[in-house]
A and B are shown apart, each in its own frame.
Chain A
Amino acid sequence: MIEITYEFIVGLFIVVGGLLTLAATVGAIRFPDVYTRNHAISKSTTLGVTMILVGTLLYFFLFEEHFNSRLVLAIMFILMTAPISGHLIGRAAYNSGVKLAERTVTDELERDRKKGKQANSL
């Protein structure tokens, strides 16, 4: 009985992680511009990969009685680095002049940058 519960938990983690990664890929195809794609990728894959790693950790811990600390480190590193890479890709895209999607409503960064330029030229 307990064996089945363990299998269910491990399976849940891995399947949900896989589905989230799939959803991120679908988002990368469907969203209109770089920034919205970045949303889908940087969020869903972070949690998706983390959940797959947690599932692996639990599998080896529960069935092989082996606690793999490298998986814990990998989870920590992914959680720390994924949002930073998302931020840097968005920033690099903005600074190299990638256009926002047609449907974009406001762009306060452009407004503030123009203001800054005017202040500098005065």
Chain B
Amino acid sequence: MAFQMLLNFFLAFLWMFLKTSFTPAAFVVGFFWGLVILFIFRSYFPDRFYLHRVVAIIKLFLLFIKELILSNLNVLKHVLKPKMDIKPGIFALPIDLQKDWEIMLLGNLITLTPGTLTVDISDDNKILYIHAVNIDDVKESVDSIKNTFEKAIMEVSR
């Protein structure tokens, strides 16, 4: 991805030199044509066209904002309930991610999901220990954590 982006910048500068106009507008136009050229030659690169990854990152960010708001509503619900009927607990969640930064991102996302908080990571980076504020309704949402977050992160790193 970094190589394709660098090539795109290089093509944008090339465009500026060809036009002999060194303005931000010329850079943007050159960047756009560079993007088109990279898209035409996408099969020559070992990894996929880098805009896919940019879109995946934006999707992950929107997911993050959505989960942050949902988790706040969840906390608000527990805090303002007159009777405290929570059932906290720590459960283990096996993960498939391998790289360190992916696991860090997943841990952070889980910390900001409704009712869950990452407490520890096993030494071999295969299991996340998650503290849940209400273990009954979290057990079901484990699947959704696995499907949405892990998939979204894999989409970025693929």
A contact residues vs B (CB 8 Å cutoff): 20, 23-24, 26-27, 30-33, 35-36, 38-40, 42-44, 46-47, 79-80, 83-84, 86-87, 90-91, 94, 100-101, 103-110, 112
Contact = CB atoms under 8 A, between A and B. Distances in A.
A27 B79 contact: yes
B63 interface: no
A86 B107 CA distance: 11
Interface string B53-77: 0000000000010001101100110
Q: Which secondary structure characterizes the binding site on chain A? A: helix
B119 A107 contact: no
A23 B76 contact: yes
Interface residues of B, number: 33
Given A27-B79, A103-B86, A106-B89, A35 B119 contact: yes
13 contacts: A23-B80, A32-B88, A33-B88, A35-B88, A35-B119, A46-B112, A47-B72, A86-B117, A87-B111, A90-B131, A91-B119, A91-B120, A108-B129
A61 to B, nearest CB: 19
Contact of A44 (B76, B88, B117, B131): B76
A109 B119 contact: yes
Contacts of B87: 103-105
A40 B135 CA distance: 16
Contact of B68 (A39, A40, A47): A47
B133 interface: yes
B119 A112 contact: no
Interface in B77-111: 78-80, 84, 86-92, 107-108, 111
